């Protein structure tokens, strides 16, 4: 099995090479050359999530140096529950927030970290991962790489622009994870990371690498929970579900399209977005126009130029096919607030602002139909938005509480990237 660049001007590589490289040398994103059909899956014989992950992912790692480690990698990475919860009748929620940082990014970050650690041991080298974060990504990456051998992580976040709980998740690790509070904006943080990569001396000396969401090692494992949930849904309801996915950079939804392509029993994939309307506008106008992002209550989805669209354009090169496969609806902030209130009032179920966009889309367009809304984060991560709306405090889940109790430390620096390497 080989992986090719969406831009078609880079050599095909195996999975572990694509994972260690991140971006393809031609600037494109790695995608599988073909999608192995799931027909080999004896789903009834599979007893655990890590076992299913292994079965789904093994064909992608055929002839790969990591193939011999794959079962162990899956057990290491997916060591938390993945419940499909029924809200009412055929309406379900796939809770992807039971990992260490209580958001779905734990799946991809933990799989990537487990792969990288083993590859570095085989190659007997070290590397340093740089991450600029406006909140959630950095936390998932820091948690996933904490105490991994051969890897140091430097996380940069903008001073005063992340929530207290987010900051705690960036700064509580110690050991091989160093947090930097940058006296500047998120854009400054991103600029510093870029400058460090362009500084050839530093880049070579430190073995700089990234772990951002375009890495194949984060996307592939996300396909697994769509295979898992659609089969589980089928067993419970005897029907194929429509899956509604709160989306920003479209990594999570791209993984769902890959699962569908492999033959997972999915009726339809629907994206819910916030007021960043690039994709719904594309579907109604036929013209794809990336733009600057706008800030919303569902801030992990504040993306105006979704990078994984490049993978969807590659999967469905014909615009008519893409338009037929893809459905997307936008939900604005007042409607997010109203939906959190409505669902708590009606069912006692608490939604995070991102998941609220998905539940709104279900209620407006798919009410009563066989559906899975993907819950991307635990509401306790966004208590400042959610608690005033529901008029009560949200119980912090055990995994998150553990992190909030740890001692924190960070280095305060300006916007000179060289200060990251002193
Ligand atoms: C990252 C994130 C999203 C968006 O996922 P994409 O893969 O970027 O589309 C949605 N919700 C939460 C909570 C996130 O952290």
- Reported as a single tens digit per residue, the pLDDT across 358-376 is 999 999 999 999 999 999 9
The minimum-distance atom of ligand 1 relative to the CA of 251 is 7
What does residue 36 show for φ and ψ, rounded to 5 degrees? Answer: -65, 130
Identify whether 166 is part of a domain.
no
User: From the CA of 421, how far away is ligand 1's center (Å)?
Assistant: 30
Identify whether 205 is part of a domain.
no
What does residue 31 show for φ and ψ, rounded to 5 degrees? Answer: -135, 155
Q: Closest Cα to atom 2, ligand 1: which residue?
A: 300
Nearest Cα to 238, choosing from 215, 265, 212? 265
User: From the CA of 377, how far away is ligand 1's center (Å)?
Assistant: 8
The minimum-distance atom of ligand 1 relative to the CA of 381 is 13
User: From the CA of 53, how far away is ligand 1's center (Å)?
Assistant: 21
Model's pTM, two decimal places? 0.95
Say if residues 177 and 142 touch (Cβ distance below 8 Å): yes
Q: Residue 161 has what pLDDT? A: 83
Q: Residue 309 has what pLDDT? A: 95
Identify whether 302 is part of a domain.
yes
Q: Residue 44 has what pLDDT? A: 77
User: From the CA of 309, how far away is ligand 1's center (Å)?
Assistant: 14
Identify whether 150 is part of a domain.
no
Q: Is 28 in the pocket of ligand 1 (CB under 6 A)?
A: no
Strand-pair partners of 181:
157, 412
CATH number of the domain enclosing 259: 3.40.50.1100
Identify whether 336 is part of a domain.
yes
User: From the CA of 304, how far away is ligand 1's center (Å)?
Assistant: 13
Q: Report the SS3 class of residue 3.
A: strand
Identify whether 124 is part of a domain.
no
Q: Residue 365 has what pLDDT? A: 98
Residue range(s) defining the domain that contains residue 363: 80-103+217-397
Q: Residue 152 has what pLDDT? A: 96
Q: Is 140 in the pocket of ligand 1 (CB under 6 A)?
A: no
The four Cα atoms 396, 92, 245, 284 give a dihedral, to 10 degrees, of: -140
Q: Residue 164 has what pLDDT? A: 86
Say if residues 411 and 392 touch (Cβ distance below 8 Å): no
**Cβ neighbours of residue 241 closer than 8 Å, sequence gap 6 or more:** 92, 229, 230, 233, 234, 266, 267, 370, 371, 372
Q: Residue 103 has what pLDDT? A: 93
Q: Is 252 in the pocket of ligand 1 (CB under 6 A)?
A: yes
Q: Residue 115 has what pLDDT? A: 97
User: From the CA of 166, how far away is ligand 1's center (Å)?
Assistant: 15
Residues of the chain below pLDDT 50 = none
User: From the CA of 403, how far away is ligand 1's center (Å)?
Assistant: 21
Q: Which of 169, 301, 312, 358 to mutate to test the pocket of ligand 1 (most atoms within 8 A of CB)?
A: 301
- Name the one residue in this structure whose structure tokens are 């306790």: 380
Q: What would the pLDDT profile of 90-148 be if each residue is shown by its tens digit?
A: 999 999 999 999 999 999 999 999 999 999 999 999 999 999 987 778 899 999 999 99
Q: Is 249 in the pocket of ligand 1 (CB under 6 A)?
A: yes
Q: Residue 385 has what pLDDT? A: 95
Count structural domains, the chain: 1
Going by their DSSP bridges, the two strands 127-132 and 151-158 should be labelled as parallel
Q: Residue 162 has what pLDDT? A: 85
Say if residues 154 and 208 touch (Cβ distance below 8 Å): no
Q: Residue 187 has what pLDDT? A: 84
Say if residues 300 and 376 touch (Cβ distance below 8 Å): yes
Q: Is 356 in the pocket of ligand 1 (CB under 6 A)?
A: no
Identify whether 136 is part of a domain.
no
Q: Residue 244 has what pLDDT? A: 98
Identify whether 149 is part of a domain.
no
């Amino acid at each position: 099995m080989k992986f090719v660049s969406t831009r078609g001007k880079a050599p095909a590589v195996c999975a572990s090479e694509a994972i260690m490289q991140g971006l393809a040398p031609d600037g494109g994103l790695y995608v599988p050359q073909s999608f192995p059909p799931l027909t080999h899956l004896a789903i009834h014989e599979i007893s655990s999530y890590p076992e299913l992950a292994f079965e789904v992912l093994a064909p992608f790692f055929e002839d790969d140096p990591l193939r011999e480690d794959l079962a162990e990698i899956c057990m290491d990475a997916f060591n938390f529950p993945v419940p499909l919860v029924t809200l009412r009748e055929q309406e379900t929620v796939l809770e992807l927030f039971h990992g260490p940082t209580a958001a779905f990014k734990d799946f991809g970050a933990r799989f990537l970290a487990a792969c990288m650690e083993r590859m570095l041991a085989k190659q007997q080298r070290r590397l340093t991962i740089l991450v600029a974060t406006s909140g959630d990504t950095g936390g998932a990456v820091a948690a996933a790489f904490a105490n991994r051998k051969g890897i140091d992580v430097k996380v940069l976040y903008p001073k005063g622009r992340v929530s207290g709980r987010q900051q705690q998740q960036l700064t509580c690790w110690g050991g091989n994870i160093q947090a930097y509070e940058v006296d500047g904006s998120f854009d400054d943080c991103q600029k510093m990371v870029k400058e460090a990569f362009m500084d050839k001396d530093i880049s070579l000396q430190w073995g700089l690498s990234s772990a951002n969401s375009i890495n194949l090692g984060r996307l592939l494992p996300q396909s697994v929970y769509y295979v898992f949930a659609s089969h589980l849904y089928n067993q419970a309801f005897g029907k194929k579900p429509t899956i509604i996915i709160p989306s920003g950079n479209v990594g999570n939804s791209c993984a769902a399209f890959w699962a569908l392509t492999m033959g997972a029993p999915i009726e339809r994939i629907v994206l819910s977005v916030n007021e960043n309307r690039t994709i719904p506008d594309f579907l109604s106008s036929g013209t794809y126009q990336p733009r600057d992002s706008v800030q919303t209550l569902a801030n992990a989805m504040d993306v105006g130029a979704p990078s994984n669209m490049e993978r969807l354009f590659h999967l469905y090169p014909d615009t008519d096919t893409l338009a037929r496969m893809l459905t997307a609806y936008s939900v604005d902030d007042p409607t997010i607030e109203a939906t959190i209130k409505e669902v708590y009032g009606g069912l006692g179920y608490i939604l995070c602002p991102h998941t609220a966009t998905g539940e709104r889309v279900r209620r407006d367009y798919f009410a009563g139909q066989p559906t899975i809304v993907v819950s991307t984060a635990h509401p306790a991560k966004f208590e400042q938005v959610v608690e005033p709306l529901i008029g009560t405090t949200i119980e912090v889940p055990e995994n998150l509480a553990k992190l909030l109790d740890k001692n924190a430390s960070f280095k305060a620096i300006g916007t000179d990237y060289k200060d990251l390497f002193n």
